[in-house]
């Protein structure tokens, strides 16, 4: 296939996926190292830079989905990225009081293991055209544990941050104003929490469906 566009696409995705494997592997390594050497309260400070870089880069994945560059539906990509960005930029960045919680550890470890598996799976596919069956199995099975642990950590951290969000009045916009606009961070965070109620089963069952489809297909081949 000498199509230059598809070669470009392949290069782009190889670079993207492997760069993110590196970023998230860093997060995982630093998290575990810090827990062993310094203690759980210091994990956030240790992983802050690679975490923010890797997670923010994932905004590109919404564009990939919208433009049809990848097959994943926007309905699965958007809630995932929205919750990640809310946790990183909304909560962790603005509410320093929650950074020392043990929940931060479970959060970054769940995320980084998932992402290392996911991005190396796609990285292998794009760069080498193969997906080793062990990696495929990991990619479509690890979520069984890591989704619940990750989601619980996300919900737990938001809940922990609520009193600080309320008292800080950060980003709040009040009436009266010309455009009759209000924004209340506290209510917005409550809404975010409520979104996990339909959102989590939606994401989990989507992955269960994907698992069934992919693992049965590879068994037949």
Partner 1 sequence: MKVLVVSRSGREVVRGGLEFSDAATVAHLQEAIYRKTKKFYPSRQRLTLPVQPGSKEKPIVLSGKKSIKDYADGNNLTVVLKDLGPQVSYRTLFFFEYLGPLLIYPIFYYFPVYQYFGFKDKHEKLPVQTYAMYYWCFHYFKRILETFFVHRFSHATSPIANVFRNCAYYWTFGAYIAYHVNHPLYTPVSDLQIKIGFAFGLLCQASNFYCHILLKNLRSSDGSGGYQIPRGFLFNIVTCANYTTEIYQWLGFNIATQTVAGYVFLLVAASIMTNWALGKHRRLKKLFDGKDGRPKYPRRWVILPPFL
Contacts 24+ apart (CB under 8 A), 204-208: 204/143, 204/147, 206/76, 207/140, 207/143, 207/147
Of 36 and 180, CB closest to partner 1: 180
By the rule CB under 8 A, 176 interacts with partner 1: yes
Q: How many chain residues bind partner 1 (CB under 8 A)? A: 9
Tell me the catalytic residues: 147, 154
By the rule CB under 8 A, 68 interacts with partner 1: no
Considering only residues 181, 216, 220, 221, which one is a binding residue for partner 1 as defined by CB under 8 A? 181
Considering only residues 4, 177, 216, 220, which one is a binding residue for partner 1 as defined by CB under 8 A? 177
By the rule CB under 8 A, 182 interacts with partner 1: yes
Considering only residues 3, 180, 219, 220, which one is a binding residue for partner 1 as defined by CB under 8 A? 180
Of 3 and 180, CB closest to partner 1: 180
Query: Which span (98-106, 112-120, 137-145, 176-184) binds partner 1, by CB under 8 A?
Result: 176-184
Considering only residues 68, 130, 175, 221, which one is a binding residue for partner 1 as defined by CB under 8 A? 175
Could you write out the three-class secondary structure of 106-172?
HHHHHHHHHHHHHHHHHHHHHHHCCCCHHHHHHHCCCHHHHHHHHHHHHHHHHHHHHHHHHHHCCCC
Of 134 and 179, CB closest to partner 1: 179
Provide the 3-class DSSP secondary structure of residue 183: strand
Closest CA to 119 of 55, 31, 193: 55
Of 33 and 174, CB closest to partner 1: 174
Query: Would you state the structure tokens that stand for residue 189, as one six-digit string?
Result: 């965070």
Calpha distance 93→211 (Å, rounded): 34
Residues that bind partner 1 in the complex, under the rule CB under 8 A: 174-182
């Amino acid at each position: 296939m000498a199509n230059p566009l598809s070669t470009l696409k392949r290069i782009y995705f190889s670079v993207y996926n492997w760069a993110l494997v590196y970023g998230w592997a860093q997060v995982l390594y630093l998290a575990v190292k810090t827990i062993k050497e310094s203690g759980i309260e210091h994990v956030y400070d240790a992983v802050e830079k690679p975490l923010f870089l890797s997670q923010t880069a994932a905004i590109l994945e919404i564009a990939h989905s919208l433009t049809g560059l990848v097959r994943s539906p926007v309905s699965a990509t958007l809630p995932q990225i929205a919750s990640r960005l809310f946790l990183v930029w909304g909560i962790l960045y603005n509410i320093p009081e929650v950074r020392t919680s043990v929940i931060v550890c479970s959060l970054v470890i769940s995320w980084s293991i998932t992402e290392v598996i996911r991005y190396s799976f796609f990285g292998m596919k794009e760069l080498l055209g193969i997906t080793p069956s062990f990696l495929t199995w990991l990619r479509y099975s690890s979520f069984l544990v890591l989704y619940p642990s990750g989601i619980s950590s996300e919900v737990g951290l938001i809940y922990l941050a609520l009193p600080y969000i309320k008292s800080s009045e950060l980003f709040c916009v009040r009436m009266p104003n010309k455009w009759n606009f209000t924004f209340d961070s506290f209510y917005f965070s409550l809404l975010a929490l409520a979104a996990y109620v339909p959102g989590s089963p939606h994401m989990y069952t989507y992955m269960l469906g994907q698992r069934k489809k992919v693992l049965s297909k590879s068994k037949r081949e």
